[in-house]
Amino acid sequence: MTKKYDVIVIGAGPAGMTAALYASRAELSVLMLDRGVYGGQMNNTAEIENYPGFKSILGPDLSEKMYESSTQFGVEYAYGEVQDVQVDGDRKLVKTADDEFEAPAVIIGSGSEYRKLGVPGEEQYGGRGVSYCAVCDGAFFKNEDVVVVGGGDSAIEEATYLANLAKKVTVIHRRDTLRAQKILQERAFARDNIDFIWNTNVTEILGNDQKVSGVALKNNQTGETSEFPTAGIFIYVGILPITGAFSHLGITDEQGWIVTNDQMETAVPGIFAVGDVRKKHLRQITTAVGDGGVAGQAVFDYVESVKSK
């Protein structure tokens, strides 16, 4: 049986939870779907220092607080990975492996996932030394040498976190300067047990069939190759939108990001998008929350217009 709501929110990250809060507070019936634990990538963040109201807060703790707030006005929360969204006029059908839901409005907040290096050994040693989450796996490498690949905010934040656990952290970056915020760079440079290898790409992840033992490197300026021993490799080389289930709707750009206007409306009436899945410059918790608030109000206006027909 198809379950009906006023609004279906796909994704329970900060954007989706805020949208659900606003829509439910406006007395719309709201279903919030997520394929994992609510909070999204906040659960993989050790410490959040740039969310107003908290000098510092652990990512999982902020996820829990947001969830409690977002569900206080009757939001129904369910696990499910969305496989398809169909549009039939004012009706939107959202299908998971086990269920089908219907609503006049859908808010997509499916977020993004970490980009992989795509090198030999990455898949083979997944969970055996290859990680994309320092908070999740850092404790397994206490007092060992580890590598972080990347030069953006996530890479440098997680390198600094790992420095509290690992004996030594080596950041490998394909450029000669970091892209991370200056305050994050300064913290990393100040740590005695964080080193940097510049202008270098990881070409292979090496191991002994049981776990990671090192990485193969190539200097992209000189062409010199080498091997670097490590117990673990943490990869932060960008993100990709999770939009496979929506690509047929004509709402994404060539990279897969969903295009919206400033009201979070896509090219399909009644379908909105919020958070990291949107095509935009800054992807932060604060911007995700802002997106959610705008969409929550816009979706109320849209649902009311449908009901008045």
Q: Which residues does the annotation mark as catalytic?
A: 133, 136-137
Residue with tokens 């030594």: 168
Q: What are the two backbone dihedrals, phi and then psi, of residue 37, each rounded to the nearest 5 degrees?
A: -80, 140
Among 115, 108, 29, 106, smallest CA distance to 74 is for 29
Residues in the chain: 309
Q: Which residues of 122-146 are buried (b: 16+ CB within 10 A; e: fewer)?
A: beebeebbbbbbbbebbebbeeebb
Angle, in degrees to the nearest 10, between helices 285-307 and 14-25: 40
In whole angstroms, give the CA distance from residue 238 to residue 113: 9
Helix or strand run (H / E) with residue 23: helix 14-25
Contacts of 266 (CB under 8 A, 6+ apart): 108, 249, 251, 258, 259, 260, 272, 273
Tokens at residue 139, please? 């404790």
